[in-house]
């Protein structure tokens, strides 16, 4: 799997959306939009942006023992409603926070010009205190590909890709995010074919 390094060269698909084609038979990825955070010859890593998660942010804070039950009841609505999503089928017990670059810690990794990834407790604590980034979402798990695997899936018509939209990444409305991602490319779901075509 691809790993992050602080000063790494950007891969070809870094900062791109992957949009699942209708022929995507893997139920983990059917009708998904993925934000690619790392892409290299070693593989790729990203996060599904339109899969809800049943756990709430207070659930996570309680599990990590950052707060107790009495504090959970007193959390302000903005903190209580902080969005958690299912980021992918790999390491589903591990949390990652995708966020704007107005919050940085020693462990924050830039994944595009304006977006960072932090996977340590410091950002969770900061968000719980209302001191986190202005835009953020927490992902449980991630999507990962081995060397050459993602390129092969794109070549076999499994994914479309296009530059990511920060607005769409942090948009809380998950239900039509897939259609809106396609619209960025000027594509309607009804016009997509499951067969690879050649001009």
User: What local confidence, expressed as pLDDT, does residue 74 receive?
Assistant: 87
User: What local confidence, expressed as pLDDT, does residue 89 receive?
Assistant: 96
User: What local confidence, expressed as pLDDT, does residue 194 receive?
Assistant: 55
User: What local confidence, expressed as pLDDT, does residue 4 receive?
Assistant: 45
- Tokens representing 170? 């942090």
Alpha helices in the chain (DSSP H): 57-63, 69-73, 77-80, 121-128, 149-155, 166-170, 177-184
Decide: 159 and 19 in contact? Cβ < 8 Å. Answer: yes
Q: What is the pTM of this model?
A: 0.87
User: What local confidence, expressed as pLDDT, does residue 190 receive?
Assistant: 73
User: What local confidence, expressed as pLDDT, does residue 77 receive?
Assistant: 86
Q: Helix, strand, or coil here: 76?
A: coil
Decide: 142 and 87 in contact? Cβ < 8 Å. Answer: yes
Along the 199 residues of the chain, how does pLDDT read in single tens digits?
A: 344 444 446 678 888 999 999 878 788 999 999 999 999 999 999 999 999 999 999 999 999 999 888 888 888 888 889 989 999 999 999 999 999 999 988 899 998 889 999 999 999 999 998 899 999 999 999 999 999 999 999 999 999 999 999 999 999 999 999 999 999 988 887 777 555 443 3
CA dist 185 → 108, 129, 136, 168 (Å): 30, 38, 24, 13
Separation of alpha carbons 158 and 55, rounded Å: 30
């Amino acid at each position: 799997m691809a790993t992050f390094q602080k000063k790494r060269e950007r891969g070809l698909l870094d900062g791109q959306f992957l949009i699942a084609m209708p022929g995507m038979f893997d139920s983990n990825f059917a009708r998904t939009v993925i934000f690619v955070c790392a892409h290299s010859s070693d593989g790729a890593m990203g996060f599904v942006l339109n899969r809800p998660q049943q756990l709430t942010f207070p659930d996570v804070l309680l599990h990590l023992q950052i707060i107790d039950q009495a504090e959970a009841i007193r959390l302000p609505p903005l903190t209580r409603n902080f969005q958690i999503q299912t980021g992918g089928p790999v390491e589903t017990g591990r949390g990652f926070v995708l966020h704007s670059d107005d919050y940085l810690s020693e462990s924050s990794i830039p994944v595009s010009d304006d977006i960072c990834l932090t996977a340590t407790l410091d950002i969770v604590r900061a968000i719980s205190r209302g001191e986190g980034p202005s835009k953020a979402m927490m992902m449980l798990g991630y999507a990962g590909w081995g060397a050459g695997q993602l390129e092969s899936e794109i070549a076999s018509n499994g994914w479309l890709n296009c530059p990511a939209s920060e607005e769409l990444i942090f948009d809380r409305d998950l239900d039509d995010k897939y259609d809106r991602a396609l619209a960025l490319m000027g594509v309607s779901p009804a016009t997509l074919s499951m067969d690879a075509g050649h001009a």
